[in-house]
Structure 1
Amino acid sequence: MTDLDRVGPGRPWAKGWRRLLLGSGMMVFPALTAVAVGGTVSGAAAVAGYAVVAAFCVCYALLVLAFGRGRRRWIAPLLAVMIALSLAALPFAHENAFFLATVVVSVVAILWRQHAAWAVATGALAALVVPWAVRPWHTGPGGFQALALVFTSLTCGAFAEIAATNTALFAARAEVARLASEAERNRIARDLHDLLGHSLTAITVKSRVAQRLAGKDLDQAVAEMAAVETLSRQALSDVRAAVTGYREATLAGELARGRELLRAAGVMADLPTAADAVAPRERELFGWVVREGITNVVRHARADRCSVLLTATSVEIRDDGTGGGPGGTGGGKGLTGDGKGLTGLRERVAAAGGTVEAGPLDPRGWRLLVTVPQNGPGREDDEGHRGTP
């Protein structure tokens, strides 16, 4: 298996001037071999030597073309022919034939980096030993050729490593963008669910109250419908703000809304009149908890009484209802009816490092408790701004 999976065609690094520059730059070595052929042999031997070098160049060009177009099955056969041609050039160029071996080893360093070490070692050793061992050549070890082989192949291998890293970076960047997009979609879906679940519940309750009052107290029925209009406008505003990411649920505002919603639903409300006991950084989170908890009470609890208890690190919502879970199973209530509210709330609280406890009370009722760490991140900054409980 080659490294084409990581640095193959279609990758940004393998296109354009980089590939052209690297590929054409390697043609210097066949050119040096061709010059050496003219200085070593003459006549028919020189023609044969030039033909070998030319065939090597053709094979190399075909290999670069196959690499660029993803024709993997041609890579190994062409490389094998290039090895044979570099060996065939030895009688004509002597030690300078190892310039062709430089090209071969560089290709191995790019495509089979796991085999690069032994290929470089073998090529460099051959460049040193063969010219010295063949006495008729009247030359010593090919030190220059060995150095050229080592440094060129190492450079090509480093280029391939950088290319693979860049490819991985492109892939990671695309994955980060995908995850960010998915997280944003989930955030919008969760926020829209939270916002509309509360607002539509309030609108439904007030609409029913207005229907009951229509034949008894027309003025009060008109007032309830005016409240419905106000809630509808507020819901629209909240949805727009959620989509743009600039809205927040304030604890004081949610307590006021919750008190009004419970009153309209005929539930006695025991809610704090202020949110000073809660650190400023927790008020938005606790606002969402109050919104979800009270919406759940109105929609599912069939309760007579609902209470909210606030401390610096917790918010607790209790009711004395008998309502069951989604679909009336009686197995426990899922916030806003389908369980998505509780899931979204758990995500919010988990992001703040807190915990959520939700379950039935004995003999009846339901309890939702959200607790955040007393010394969580950023809490120290809030100490100087915390009001008196």
Structure 2
Amino acid sequence: MKHLLWPVLGKALYWRTVRVGGRAFALAAIGIAGIVVGGVVTPGATKVLEASGSFSLSVWYAGLILLQTLICMHGLVFRAAGVPFRQTWPLIAVTTLIASFVAIVFHDAPGPAGSIAMICVLLLVLARSEWVWVVCAGIGMVSLALFLWWPMPDSSSPNTLAVVQSIVVGVVGAIAVRATAWLAARTVELAAANAEISRLTVQKERTRISRDLHDRLGHNLVSIMLRTELAERLAAVDTAQASRESKAAHVLAQQALQDMRGIAHGTLVADLDAELAAAIDLLESRGAACRIRIGEQPEGALAETLAWVVREAVTNILKHSQPVNCELELIRVGDRFEFVIANDGLLAADSAAPRHGLAGIAERVERVGGTYDADTDADGDRFELRVTLPATAPRQETGTPA
């Protein structure tokens, strides 16, 4: 019996489904119990008492119907948990046995009809196919036939009004039970969907913070390292220049602190003009000769995306090469913007190694409908990054990147 009433379903999942269903399950249980007590238990037990004159028999009848109701509630949890009908059919078998027992014991009273009707209620809860209405209608016809033609005392024979009332209660109750089961199942699905949305939202925010920390603070830290190294080398030969480099490193440290706060609060915005100027200044301070060609620039989300690209591209250059010559070009060609940044002096260990920051560049560019390409020449000495952006950003992508 334990295996029949507890199909192949972990207890943890069972109770988690009950907790997730929460108020919806409580309302469903109250609704089904109300329908059964008002439409089956009360009139059935009364008629059993009138027909047999035995209060204990009427209590037995009511108890068996309520047992079928508890099995129905059990099935409602399985339905909401997504357990297929092939695993929950034992519940139908158990309630059918109860209905058969009631039909045999209470054959002299109109009780069997109510017990057989509980099979329909359970089917309406468990079965997902719309054919369940046909099956329940068939069971209802059999129940009605037993109700009308089963041999019973004349005093308990139903009148036309009672039959009509039973049909109306049955139809309305069937619709209510089916709707209740549907509502409970949808509530569990909605709660699971909301939990998944929350999880994905947290994951997206973590990804944003991780990406921004890598792109922004990584660049600042590399810049600070380079300027402090330069200041240390110049300290003995050019104290004035060493002092300027030290001050520049201090400014970068302050900027890194502000950037960290902006990342934490999601308010960090990159400025394209500032990034282009900082990139040129940093590359030249490293001793690279820069060839620059800046034409028309994008605006809005496109400009912000390109600013992040410039920052990350320069960080990659400083980390993976010792550039002598750099090229930086931004022009508009028809309905698109083309940005190219290239450098020589690749370190031998990094000439063929993939750069982690390029994945962040690709992600940002693709989000605004652009394309991205990075390549190293045959000698492994020159690296080129090419980004193409549309002239107009997609509507859903305007604003600060997530």
TM-score normalised to structure 1 length: 0.82
C-alpha contact 1:83 1:101 (8 A) present in aligned 2:
yes
**Equivalence for 1:216:** 237
Distance in 2 (CA, whole Å) between partners of 1:51 and 1:249 is 77
C-alpha contact 2:44 2:114 (8 A) present in aligned 1:
yes
**Equivalence for 1:20:** 30
Counterpart secondary structure, 2:326: strand
Q: How many residues align?
A: 366
**Equivalence for 2:205:** 184
Q: Note the C-alpha offset of 1:108.
A: 2.9
Counterpart secondary structure, 1:306: strand
Distance in 2 (CA, whole Å) between partners of 1:353 and 1:38 is 77
**Equivalence for 1:386:** none
Which stretch shows the higher mean deviation, 125-134 or 277-286?
125-134
C-alpha contact 2:96 2:119 (8 A) present in aligned 1:
no
- Aligned partner of 1:59 among 64, 67, 70: 67
Match runs of 1:359-370 below 5 Å: 359-361=375-377, 364-370=381-387
Q: Note the C-alpha offset of 1:112.
A: 4.0
Tell whether 2:357 aligns with 1:341: yes
Match runs of 1:124-273 below 5 Å: 124-134=140-150, 142-272=163-293
Distance in 1 (CA, whole Å) between partners of 2:124 and 2:15 is 14
Distance in 1 (CA, whole Å) between partners of 2:126 and 2:69 is 16
Counterpart secondary structure, 1:367: strand
Q: Note the C-alpha offset of 1:248.
A: 1.3
TM-score normalised to structure 2 length: 0.79
Distance in 1 (CA, whole Å) between partners of 2:282 and 2:253 is 14
Q: Note the C-alpha offset of 1:264.
A: 1.6
C-alpha contact 1:8 1:68 (8 A) present in aligned 2:
no
Percent of residue pairs bearing the same amino acid type: 25
Distance in 2 (CA, whole Å) between partners of 1:112 and 1:7 is 22
Q: Note the C-alpha offset of 1:97.
A: 3.9
**Equivalence for 1:316:** 340
**Equivalence for 1:283:** 303
CA pair 182-202 structure 1, distance change in 2 beyond 3 A = same
Counterpart secondary structure, 2:323: coil
For residues 315-338 of structure 1, give each alpha carbon's deviation from its aligned partner in whole angstroms, at most 9, with x where no partner exists.
1101132334xxx15315x4xxxx
For residues 23-73 of structure 1, give each alpha carbon's deviation from its aligned partner in whole angstroms, at most 9, with x where no partner exists.
24421211101222344x244xx4574254133245246547867999x99
Counterpart secondary structure, 1:215: coil
Distance in 2 (CA, whole Å) between partners of 1:167 and 1:224 is 61
Distance in 1 (CA, whole Å) between partners of 2:126 and 2:15 is 10
Structure 2 unmatched ranges of 5 or more = 1-6, 79-87
Residue 394 of structure 2 aligns with an amino acid whose one-letter code is P
CA pair 275-230 structure 1, distance change in 2 beyond 3 A = farther
For residues 234-292 of structure 1, give each alpha carbon's deviation from its aligned partner in whole angstroms, at most 9, with x where no partner exists.
011111101211111111000111122112211112335x6743234311111111111
Distance in 2 (CA, whole Å) between partners of 1:127 and 1:2 is 31
C-alpha contact 1:123 1:146 (8 A) present in aligned 2:
no
Counterpart secondary structure, 2:107: helix
- Compare relative contact order (CA 8 Å, sep 6+) and give the higher one, 1 or 2: 2
RMSD (Å), alpha carbons: 3.4
- Aligned partner of 2:121 among 100, 106, 109: 106
Counterpart secondary structure, 2:385: strand
Q: Note the C-alpha offset of 1:374.
A: 3.7
CA pair 191-107 structure 1, distance change in 2 beyond 3 A = same
